[in-house]
Amino acid sequence: MLADFYMMAEGGDDDGGDVGIKVETRAKTKRPPLYKVLILNDDYTPMEFVVHVLERFFGMTHAQAFELMLTVHKKGVAVVAVYSYEIAETKVAQVMDFAQRNQHPLQCTMEKE
Ligand code: TYC
């Protein structure tokens, strides 16, 4: 965003015309902070359930979901996606609710990038 201010002053020059002083400012447009949505491994949630969660709530293909599930299974945690605060919060709530309703201990959290 750009705002231009023109302060017009009668100048000391001899043509009688206005002397323009341009003060250019650039408004600070701060991008909103981003949040990583993380999925955690556990010993009880079935692999197929995690794959289904990744397909259902994060729009992954079956192959993408399976690969990420295996990464979490082996490494303990992985970033699923990055969103604005509100979207990340919604995804976490959806996953936690779905896991709870299906009686799986799957954990999903978010953290500022
Ligand atoms: N470790 C689980 C199992 O062996 C599978 C699993 C993967 C669970 C990823 C959670 O986020 C997870 N059944």
**Local confidence pLDDT in tens for the 113 residues of the chain:** 334 333 333 333 444 455 765 566 788 999 999 999 999 999 999 999 999 999 999 999 999 999 999 999 999 999 999 999 999 999 999 999 999 999 999 999 999 99
Residue 45, ligand 1, Cβ within 6 A: yes
Q: Which residues contact 105 (CB under 8 A, 6 or more apart)?
A: 42, 44, 45, 99
Task: State residue 99 phi and psi, 5-degree precision.
Answer: -65, -45
113 C-alpha to ligand 1 centroid (Å): 24
Ligand 1 atom closest to 69 (CA) = 9
Instruction: Report the length, in residues, of the chain.
Output: 113
